[in-house]
Every structure is written in structure tokens, then in C-alpha cells.
Amino acid sequence: MARKDSRQQVYTLLVEVGRSEEDDLPEKATGGGLVLYSSGVDEAEAVREAVAILKQAGLAPLDVTGYGTLAEREAEGHEIDAEERALMQRALEENAVIVAQMTPYFD
């Protein structure tokens, strides 16, 4: 039986997190938002991997919004700078989840 080669891609995700005892959010924060790049053969796998990693890190993922792959984002007219491209490439090469930005939320 021939093995089908899977093609990993990197997806841009925005993950909203709530508070947990183990998070590193500022004391008065009510939660946070993380922009990250996650590799997977499809967006569903990238989301599963990202959520699993965030839970291992003590965060409490509440909601995930997908913005697609590099090609999909370019097709939508998103401007993607060299630093963002480098982080996406790193996520692909390392088959990893890379957190690009973390913004705490305050009420």
C-alpha cells in the first residue's frame, strides 16, 4: 500500500483565552488574545494542535478564529511583513505552534 504524502501548511489563528490558575497573564487581566501560527495538514489539525499546546502551557482556550494559510491571506489582500513570514516558516520547519503576539484583556 503506497503511503500518501501529507503536506503540512501553516495557519494563522487568533485564540481567545480565559483565566486559569497556571496562566502567566497579568494579575488584573480578565483573559487574553493570542495570534499564533500553527502547522497542520488542514486547519482543523492546526487548531487541535494549538489548543493542546496552549492547555499544556496552563492557558484556557475559549475560542479560535482561523485566518487561513499564507496563500489564502495573500489572496485576501493581507499585508504580511518579513518578520511574520519568518515566524510562519519556522512553524512549518519545526512542525510547531508559534505564538507571535499575546495581548491581555482588561475590563
pTM (two decimals): 0.89
Let me know if residue 27 belongs to a domain.
yes
Instruction: Measure CA 52 to chain center.
Output: 11
Residues with Cβ within 8 Å of 4's Cβ and at least 6 positions away in sequence, in order, are none
Let me know if residue 54 belongs to a domain.
yes
Degrees to nearest 5, angle at CA 78 with 73 and 79: 125
pLDDT digits (tens, 9 = 90+) for 34-91: 999 999 999 999 999 999 999 999 999 999 999 999 999 999 999 999 999 999 999 9
pLDDT digits (tens, 9 = 90+) for 75-88: 999 999 999 999 99
Let me know if residue 63 belongs to a domain.
yes
How far is 68 from 64, CA to CA, in rounded Å? 12
Let me know if residue 3 belongs to a domain.
no
Task: Tell me how many domains the chain contains.
Answer: 1
Band (1; pLDDT cuts 50, 70, 90): very low
Let me know if residue 1 belongs to a domain.
no
